[in-house]
Structure 1
Amino acid sequence: MYVRTSSRRNKSGQVVRYLQLAHNEWDAKAGVSRTKVLHSFGREDEIDRAAVERLVAALTRLLDPARAAALTGPAELTFTEARPLGGTHVLDGLWHRLGLDQVMRRQLAGRRLDPRVERVLFALVANRALDASSKLAAADWITRDVHIEGLDAIDEQACYRAMDWLLQIEPALAKEAYFQVTDLLNLEVDLLFFDTTSTYFETEEADEPVPRDAHGERLPEGTDPELAVKEAGFRTFGKSKDSRDDLPQVVVGMAVTRDGIPVRVWSWPGNTTDTNLIRQVKDDLREWSLSRIVWVADRGFTSAANRRALMQAGGGYIIGEKLRSGSPEVKQALSRPGRYATVRDNLQVKEVNIDSDDRFVICFNPEQALRDAAIRERMVTQLEEAIAGTDKLKATERAHLAGQLSTKPGLKRYLRTTPGGLLRIDKKKIATEANLDGKYLLRSSDPKLSAEDIALGYKSLLEVERGWRDMKQILDLRPVYHRREDRIRAHVLLCWLALLLIRVAENATGQTWNRLRAELQRLQAATFTGHAGTYRQTTEPTKPQRDILTALDIPAPKKVIELTATL
């Protein structure tokens, strides 16, 4: 099919050209090709060009948009760039599926803010999950390095404005997101796991102390000083879980379901005590009107004050007890006879009755017992080598060596000094430690849970520990590129939302986020530019990519995601 041109001379002698849409047909009888006119456009100088454009537009709608753009352009298209698309497409699909966009838009109603704030916050969350960076670098990443639906470009200030707004709506956002997520995913929330970590800052100076309430929140200026419970900077010195007591830090807490879904995070000044943490967490979640909740916490929350706080409002707890605390309850529990019952995952449990209102369950893992024994044997061998021949040393030299060994907890545990100042292996301590191999002790206030549920519930606390590991290694909770308290809190919230999305993806696919991210980022958006315009087209999804999309119930991205005609 082609445009046929014919010419003829009119009475004035002027040559006039006529345009026709024609194609050639083969005449089998005559054995020749004959021209058939399909449509006459009329004189070339009087042609209705608007009508031709409408005809071309109607015909191109029958074609693939990318092919149409290529065919209508007077010159070939030029490939200009390719950006990863798969990761943001999946995260955006989960973002919408969990209703986080709707929650934010409801909170946005009536506020004088850029309507793109929800998109900016999603982009910052996606940045943490896919290529964690500072907010300045994140703005450049969003603008130049990735395709995000509904957001072409932003600047650093737009990121900060969105973070400030996120902090304002956090209580309502966390509550609505919790119920949306638990209802949609049909999560079991009878057990909530809670743990804390700390994250330090590469600065030697702590923040100036300011008045704070019982929850560690900064009191507004002009507040009666008597209302302040304490004065503390947000970035301040405390007991570091990263072994960096020399640097100021903040404390971060997280509540997680038994499925590993993080439902809320908190952040406090770096010297906040466990008791204050527990009280705020209980107070905040009491407003959610949850049904019966049993809190699962590690051995750092075993104090009587923390247990009382967890019992408030009808709650219960499962807490790990420190076997080496020397408390009367621990001694009674370990001395009680009884047989272990094997439950699952190579785990054996035994409930013991002692003089206490709480229940105590001893857990034993034979494989862990073998590992503990092997580690102790190496420690004892190393200690024997260190003190060999020390009887011949002067008393001051032996004391100096003992001081050096005291800085190594693993060796110090098995070292004994005789009344005469001689260094010996503490065989009694070895026997005591051998009795603890592979064991841990749990304390629970819940009268209805079985010993197996108590043991497996505590074992699931590993989900929180995995969350901290992913927060620090994948989402880059640290380093924090912010100085202001509100921006640090907002940064923690972005990490929480990113962890929420990737944990949902992992649970649905059975794959780690590192593997999912690597595969999804191979799905690209390619941009082509020509005289007719610009279009952006996705690469064809591979089978692994299609399997991920199917498992997450997310449709594949459109083949052509952007088409702009040059006017």
Structure 2
Amino acid sequence: MRVKRNVSKNSISYSIIESYRDRNGRSTTRVVESLGNEEEIRRNHPGVDPEKWANEYARKLTEEKKKKTSQIIAKYNPTKQIPLNTRQSYNIGYLFLQKIYHELKFDKLCQQIERENQFSFDLNAILSRLLYMRILNPSSKRSTLEQAKELLEGHTIEPQHMYRALDVLEKNMDRIQEAAYKNSKTIVSRQTDILYYDCTNFFFEIEEADGLKQYGMSKEHRPNPIVQMGLFMDGDGLPLAYNLNPGNTNEQPTLKPLQKRIMKEFNLSKMIVITDAGLSSVGNRKYNTLGERGFVTTQSIKMLPKHLKAFALDKKGWKLTHATGNNRNKLYDLSTLNPNKFMTHTFYKKRWINEKGFEQRLIVTFSFKYQAYNQSIREKQIERAIKKFDNPSQLNKKKANDPTRFIESINFTQDGEVAKKTHYTLNNAQVEKEAQYDGLYGVCTNVQSTPEEIVAINHRRWEIEETFRIMKTEMKSRPVYLQKDERIQAHFLTCFLSLLIFRILEKKLKEKFTCTDIIQTLKNMRVYDVQGQGYIPTYTRTHLTDYLHETFGFRTDTEIISPKILKKIMKDTKKAK
């Protein structure tokens, strides 16, 4: 600290100032304390030389500060306005995402692409902001740039550079996915011998269809054009690779091209591919019988040929999963069992089938608990169906799972004459027909594992469905507002990479917290900038914030964080392992 002497026409005044570096690293000064003019100093301290006293006081404050280096005291003036357009609150939750971003070496990849193409904008700055904000505050591309200014490390990205960057990302799309997979293996485990594949679609806020934007069967039942995404997820629940197709593309042919790509580019050969019934064409099944590949796919019991349907519906010949000792080969008759006693048990039967010249194993499971669940769902549907008796106009809009399938119309009287008015009644035959499938679940496979292992593998398909839900709901990947196919491709690339970063974060946190809690916590982790002094956390410290800090090896939850410490934290989050 030192004395600053201000000389005016009528007096000399003194103040104590000190040097410091602002959050951008620039050296500047600030006033620590105003001491007043010479007359005020003599009046308050009789018999002293004002300048000597001021220098001695500055030395004293410096010594006190050295003794109290762990404490920071900030003074505020209730009458002084904050500078116009000055931001004082910043998000630091992105630092945890930034650490994973650099562990995946996306910064190095961006630098390599820049050298090869020799463009002027900072691709790394643009990609990183697009990924962080897709998790923290998803919005349009222009809005993303504005929202990204709330991150502690600001940016000078111009909108036109961001759109040019999208074109560059699209050209390097496969390369980036390959690098993401290979680099991710160094920070988390990746079980690639079990892969899950599924498709979904995303709608656009436009009405004209062209290129990737085509009319098709929307998952949200919207009339807008859509684009289709096929996604592979590994056995650890991490997204592996994806492709985009026009919205009117049949899902079944989309599996093999993407699978061939990851086998070649990711150097994968041994794998079991798990799909739902909609993607289980004979062609896809046959493809995954070659080499070291296998398949597990759901099989609709209702869609089986008559003789196989009879096999599945037969109450006799069932075995108990996870049975031990003499019970391993015991056969059960489901019709003789007490459901309450076996409510938590699962039964199975299996056989080889040969359909259309293709051999595979059919495994059928039965659970009284699942049966009760199916019954409760149908009872609710029947209730909804009965309520529609008074609204005949709705009864012609029957869909596969619409409650109106349980309603039948009667147009004749008991005497066989044409009725003047159509009567509606519950179709008990349809109810009984569907009830016979309650509790049953079918799987087809060529994998030589136990029924318990096959069922367990197939059960995890819910994770890929959750993955799509996170993309759509938490990361708001739709509706899509972009027009050009190249930029639409780039948009979904950033969504995919953001999803990968988030899933890795979940793994690092041992999957102890919900998706919503993690995102909201990162979003709320803000600090207040005390100019020249440090940063005061304004978020609530929780078990989740503690776990984040312990996992990543730095803390931002002290009463105040010095600029030096925070600068080191930011530097450390940009280091790869």
2:248 partner SS: coil
Q: 1:314 to 1:129 in 2, by over 3 A?
A: same
CA-CA distance at 1:121 after TM superposition = 0.3
Q: State the AA in 2 paired with 1:279.
A: K
2:135 partner SS: helix
Q: State the AA in 2 paired with 1:281.
A: L
CA contact (8 A) 2:513 2:544 kept: no
Q: Give runs of aligned pairs for residues 69-218 of structure 1, distance below 5 A.
A: 81-114=87-120, 116-143=122-149, 145-148=150-153, 151-207=154-210
Query: For each residue in 1:285-335, what CA deviation from the matched residue of structure 2 results, as whole angstroms up to 9, or x when unmatched?
Result: 121221411111111112212323444554221111123224357515514
CA contact (8 A) 2:193 2:270 kept: yes
Q: State the AA in 2 paired with 1:146.
A: L
Between 1:293-302 and 1:425-434, the stretch displaced more is 425-434
2:244 partner SS: strand
Distance 2:124 2:67 in 1: 36
CA-CA distance at 1:122 after TM superposition = 0.9
Matched residue, 2:346: 348
Matched residue, 1:427: 428
The structure 1 residue matched to 2:250, chosen from 256, 273, 276, is 273
Query: For each residue in 1:416-471, what CA deviation from the matched residue of structure 2 results, as whole angstroms up to 9, or x when unmatched?
Result: 56796875544343233222113221111222x22122111111111110011110
Matched residue, 1:369: 371
* Unaligned segments of structure 2, at least 5 residues: 6-50, 53-60, 324-342, 569-577
1:441 partner SS: strand
Query: For each residue in 1:313-366, what CA deviation from the matched residue of structure 2 results, as whole angstroms up to 9, or x when unmatched?
Result: 542211111232243575155145432434599572514114331112223343
CA-CA distance at 1:63 after TM superposition = 8.4
Query: For each residue in 1:155-203, what CA deviation from the matched residue of structure 2 results, as whole angstroms up to 9, or x when unmatched?
Result: 2122212222222222122112212213421222211111110111122
Q: 1:334 to 1:167 in 2, by over 3 A?
A: same
| Superposition TM-score, scaled by structure 2 size | 0.71
CA-CA distance at 1:483 after TM superposition = 0.7
CA contact (8 A) 2:167 2:490 kept: yes
Is 1:325 the equivalent of 2:303?
Answer: yes
Query: For each residue in 1:397-434, what CA deviation from the matched residue of structure 2 results, as whole angstroms up to 9, or x when unmatched?
Result: 9xx77953646843343345679687554434323322
CA contact (8 A) 1:199 1:478 kept: yes
CA contact (8 A) 1:342 1:349 kept: yes
CA-CA distance at 1:102 after TM superposition = 3.3
Matched residue, 1:456: 456
Is 1:294 the equivalent of 2:272?
Answer: yes
CA contact (8 A) 2:198 2:464 kept: yes
CA-CA distance at 1:481 after TM superposition = 1.8
Q: State the AA in 2 paired with 1:190.
A: D
Q: Give runs of aligned pairs for residues 523-534 of structure 1, distance below 5 A.
A: 523-529=525-531
Q: 1:413 to 1:165 in 2, by over 3 A?
A: same
CA contact (8 A) 2:195 2:235 kept: yes
Distance 1:327 1:546 in 2: 55
Matched residue, 1:544: 543
Distance 1:192 1:486 in 2: 28
Q: State the AA in 2 paired with 1:488.
A: I
Matched residue, 1:482: 482
| Superposition TM-score, scaled by structure 1 size | 0.72
Distance 2:158 2:533 in 1: 24
Percent same amino acid among aligned pairs?
A: 21
Distance 1:157 1:347 in 2: 60
Q: 1:314 to 1:78 in 2, by over 3 A?
A: same
Distance 2:371 2:440 in 1: 7
Is 1:284 the equivalent of 2:261?
Answer: yes
Q: State the AA in 2 paired with 1:446.
A: V
Matched residue, 2:40: none
CA contact (8 A) 1:124 1:159 kept: no
Q: State the AA in 2 paired with 1:127.
A: M
CA contact (8 A) 1:201 1:480 kept: yes
RMSD of the alignment, in Å?
Answer: 3.9
Q: State the AA in 2 paired with 1:348.
A: T
What is the aligned residue count?
A: 468
Between 1:122-131 and 1:419-428, the stretch displaced more is 419-428
Q: State the AA in 2 paired with 1:142.
A: A
CA contact (8 A) 2:302 2:309 kept: no
Between 1:305-314 and 1:432-441, the stretch displaced more is 305-314
Q: 1:405 to 1:200 in 2, by over 3 A?
A: closer
Distance 1:423 1:326 in 2: 31
Matched residue, 2:221: 243
CA contact (8 A) 1:348 1:363 kept: yes
CA contact (8 A) 1:349 1:455 kept: no
Matched residue, 1:443: 444
1:483 partner SS: coil
CA-CA distance at 1:487 after TM superposition = 0.7
Distance 1:552 1:281 in 2: 35
CA contact (8 A) 1:275 1:309 kept: no
CA contact (8 A) 1:253 1:267 kept: yes
Distance 1:299 1:188 in 2: 23
Query: For each residue in 1:200-246, what CA deviation from the matched residue of structure 2 results, as whole angstroms up to 9, or x when unmatched?
Result: 11222211xxxxxxxxxxxxxxxxxxxxxxxxx210111222212x2
CA contact (8 A) 2:189 2:236 kept: no
Distance 1:456 1:465 in 2: 16
Between 1:478-487 and 1:370-379, the stretch displaced more is 370-379
The structure 2 residue matched to 1:404, chosen from 393, 396, 400, is 396
CA-CA distance at 1:513 after TM superposition = 2.8
CA contact (8 A) 2:353 2:361 kept: no
Distance 1:103 1:286 in 2: 22
Distance 1:545 1:430 in 2: 48
Q: 1:450 to 1:184 in 2, by over 3 A?
A: farther
CA contact (8 A) 1:349 1:361 kept: no
Matched residue, 1:513: 515
Distance 1:255 1:452 in 2: 23
Matched residue, 1:467: 467
Distance 1:152 1:383 in 2: 57
Between 1:492-501 and 1:437-446, the stretch displaced more is 437-446
CA contact (8 A) 2:528 2:535 kept: yes
Distance 1:193 1:308 in 2: 17
Q: State the AA in 2 paired with 1:189.
A: T
Distance 1:473 1:2 in 2: 56
Q: State the AA in 2 paired with 1:137.
A: S
Distance 2:126 2:534 in 1: 21
Query: For each residue in 1:111-133, what CA deviation from the matched residue of structure 2 results, as whole angstroms up to 9, or x when unmatched?
Result: 31347311210110111100001
Matched residue, 1:339: 318
1:141 partner SS: helix
* Unaligned segments of structure 1, at least 5 residues: 6-42, 45-55, 208-232, 389-396
Q: 1:380 to 1:152 in 2, by over 3 A?
A: closer
